[in-house]
């Protein structure tokens, strides 16, 4: 009998593979078990998840489940963890400071950033964690940086468009990533799960050119795109241009492949203050599970408001939700 796993189950599998803390692993495993269809075709999977949970709960409080591999650990927050990667003085810290409330150390000399610096980007009410990493370089580099980077959900590859040496710096960054077995893949051409090599980390990547307002920026960008044609989607920004920063925020959100869904209680206005964040392709049933683990069991139907549908359209539990939908669940 086929398992008929919902799409979000595979998202949780990927999150579990990247999880490091025991408590994070327990939470993800519990969510996977709740989402797993309960029938004969999943008996073995149910038993495996139960066994995993039992082993994790026996680990000492705060255990990472194995030998410590990282000098630094950045606890995940928000809808996703986005790594800012680049050569020395590429503009990563300045971007973090403008996009979030973080206060990274910024200076004109290289290697100012010595440890991961997280900050929270707010895009349309969705919190996205940005992590400014120490620079990647063949000459000098904090040894832990590639291992921290590989556990992000996606990556911003930052290049300084005001610097004639930016092409050389980008080449070194890519060499370091390759050595660390990190694949900087195109956001819209991701390697299928079944084709991924288990030893490689695949990070959807967006090429971001900073200091786009300075002389020669466009010419340097054209050289990069000519050398790496259609390797990654790209955009240019200036910390002095709010419109370019807004475009970058939207592109980061798009990289995560998530959508916002709002809840509405029957007979009451929709709660537009707190969106639920779900993976693209999520169904009404998955939304119901997110609202409450037991809610989906008695779900009869839902009414949906949103673009391309009439107000209060009645849908079943398999209905695929879209960005910005308002959902009213009925039991």
Same domain assignment for residues 93 and 239? yes
pLDDT in tens, 262-312: 999 999 999 998 899 999 999 999 999 988 877 778 899 999 999 988 899
pLDDT score for 106: 56
Residue 76 covered by a domain: no
Same domain assignment for residues 250 and 280? no
pLDDT in tens, 146-168: 888 988 999 999 999 999 999 99
What is the Cα–Cα distance from 142 to 183, expressed in whole angstroms? 20
Q: How many domains does the chain have?
A: 3
Question: Which has the minimum average pLDDT: 41-45, 208-212, 236-240, 316-320?
Answer: 41-45
**Is the torsion defined by CA of 22, 24, 27, 30 positive or negative?**
negative
Same domain assignment for residues 248 and 282? no
Who contacts 310 (Cβ-Cβ below 8 Å, separation ≥6)? none
Query: Which of residues 178 and 109 earns the better pLDDT score?
Result: 178
User: Beta partners for 131?
Assistant: 83, 118
Same domain assignment for residues 25 and 123? no
Q: What are phi and psi of 139, to 5 degrees?
A: -75, -45
Q: Token match 């990274």: residue?
A: 104
Question: Which has the minimum average pLDDT: 79-88, 107-116, 280-289, 320-329?
Answer: 107-116
pLDDT score for 115: 84
Residue 74 covered by a domain: no
Same domain assignment for residues 263 and 251? no
Share of the chain above pLDDT 70, in %: 91
What residues make up the domain containing 13? 7-58
* Strand runs labelled E in 31-114: 81-86
pLDDT score for 281: 92
Same domain assignment for residues 101 and 52? no
End-to-end Cα distance, the chain: 28
Over residues 244-271, the mean pLDDT reads 95
Over residues 39-47, the mean pLDDT reads 79
Residue 236 covered by a domain: yes
């Amino acid at each position: 009998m086929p398992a008929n796993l919902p799409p979000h189950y595979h998202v949780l599998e990927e999150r579990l593979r990247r999880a490091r803390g025991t408590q994070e692993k327990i939470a993800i495993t519990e969510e996977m078990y709740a989402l797993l269809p309960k029938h004969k075709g999943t008996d073995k999977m149910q038993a495996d998840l139960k066994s995993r949970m039992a082993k994790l709960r026996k680990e000492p409080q705060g255990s990472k489940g194995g030998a410590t591999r990282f000098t630094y650990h950045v606890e995940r927050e928000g809808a996703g963890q986005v790594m800012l990667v680049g050569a020395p003085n590429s503009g990563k810290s300045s971007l973090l400071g403008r996009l979030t409330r973080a206060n990274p150390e910024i200076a004109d000399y290289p290697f100012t950033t010595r440890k991961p610096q997280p900050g929270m980007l707010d895009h349309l009410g969705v919190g996205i964690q940005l992590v400014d990493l120490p620079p990647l370089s063949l000459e000098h580099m904090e040894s832990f940086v590639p291992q921290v980077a590989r556990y992000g959900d996606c990556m911003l590859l930052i290049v300084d468009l005001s610097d004639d040496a930016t092409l050389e710096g980008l080449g070194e960054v890519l060499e370091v990533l390759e050595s660390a077995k990190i694949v900087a893949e195109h956001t819209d051409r991701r390697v299928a799960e079944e084709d991924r090599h288990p030893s490689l980390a695949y990070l959807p990547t967006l090429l971001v050119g900073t200091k786009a307002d300075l002389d020669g920026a466009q010419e340097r960008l054209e050289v990069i795109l000519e050398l790496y044609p259609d390797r990654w989607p790209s955009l240019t920004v200036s910390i002095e241009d709010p419109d370019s920063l807004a475009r970058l925020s939207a592109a980061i959100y798009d990289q995560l492949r998530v959508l916002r869904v709002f809840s509405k209680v029957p007979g009451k206005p929709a709660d537009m203050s707190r969106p639920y964040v779900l993976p693209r392709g999520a169904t009404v049933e998955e939304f119901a599970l997110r609202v409450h683990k037991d809610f989906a069991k008695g779900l009869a139907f839902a009414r949906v408001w949103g673009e391309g549908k009439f107000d209060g359209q009645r849908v079943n539990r398999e209905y695929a939700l879209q960005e910005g939908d308002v959902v009213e669940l009925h039991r």
